[in-house]
């Protein structure tokens, strides 16, 4: 139980890049999140789905379109993300595109998660609302309840 008291929730994201390159603004933001203690990168992988549907793993240098020293991500391989996880991630990307798969621990949530566990509380559901869906819901709410001018 002591190990669980020092762990935050772990999430993953799959980000698709239509031209197969990670824009130069993206990876420095990931480094900022790590440097700020917001997240810990557990695994980081790059994939490309070929036109025939086959999937190949890519080295970070093959995908990054910027001047950053990408060696900072060397060693971001905890072993938690396996071949089955990569295959599942590849299932959501379009043929001819590349993707970055990131498995990360939410360090910001450790004190909260620890307090929940110590009190006997249990997280029974979680989810994520895509930004586009959130904006659509806000637009619909505005249309239903217009503000008087």
pLDDT of residue 66: 59
The DSSP secondary structure of 98-111, one letter per residue, reads: EEEEEEEEEGGGHH
149 vs 113: CA distance, rounded Å: 44
pLDDT tens readout for residues 77-105: 788 888 888 889 999 999 988 898 999 99
Max CA pair span of the chain: 57
* Sequence-ordered list of residues with C-beta below 8 angstroms from that of 50, at least 6 positions apart, any chain: 56, 95, 96
Q: Compute the distance between CA of residue 116 and CA of residue 4 in angstroms, rounded to an integer.
A: 11
How far is the first Cα of the chain from the last one, in angstroms, to the nearest whole number? 56
User: What pLDDT shows up at residue 78?
Assistant: 81
Domain boundaries, the chain: 4-120
Tokens of 146: 């217009």
| Mean pLDDT, the chain, integer | 84
pLDDT over 80 (residue 70):
no
Question: Which pLDDT belongs to residue 146?
Answer: 75
Percentage of the chain beyond pLDDT 70 is 84
Q: Model pTM?
A: 0.78
The pLDDT, as a whole number, for residue 22 is 79
pLDDT at residue number 63: 63
- Summarised one tens digit per residue, pLDDT across range 133-149 is 999 999 998 888 776 64
Rounded mean pLDDT, 112-124: 87
CA 36/CA 85 separation, integer angstroms: 28
């Amino acid at each position: 139980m002591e190990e669980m008291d020092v762990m935050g929730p772990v999430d993953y994201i799959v980000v698709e890049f239509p031209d197969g390159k990670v824009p130069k603004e993206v990876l420095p933001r990931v480094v900022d999140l790590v440097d700020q203690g917001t997240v810990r990168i557990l695994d980081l992988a790059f994939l490309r789905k070929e036109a025939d549907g086959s999937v190949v793993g890519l080295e970070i240098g093959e995908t990054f379109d910027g001047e950053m020293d990408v060696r900072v991500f060397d060693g971001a391989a905890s072993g938690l993300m396996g071949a089955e996880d990569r295959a599942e991630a590849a299932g959501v990307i379009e043929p001819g595109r590349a993707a970055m798969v990131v498995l990360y621990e939410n360090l910001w949530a450790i004190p909260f998660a620890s307090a929940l566990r110590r009190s006997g509380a249990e997280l029974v559901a979680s989810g994520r609302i895509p930004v586009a869906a959130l904006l659509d819901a806000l637009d619909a709410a505005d249309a239903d309840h217009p503000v008087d001018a």
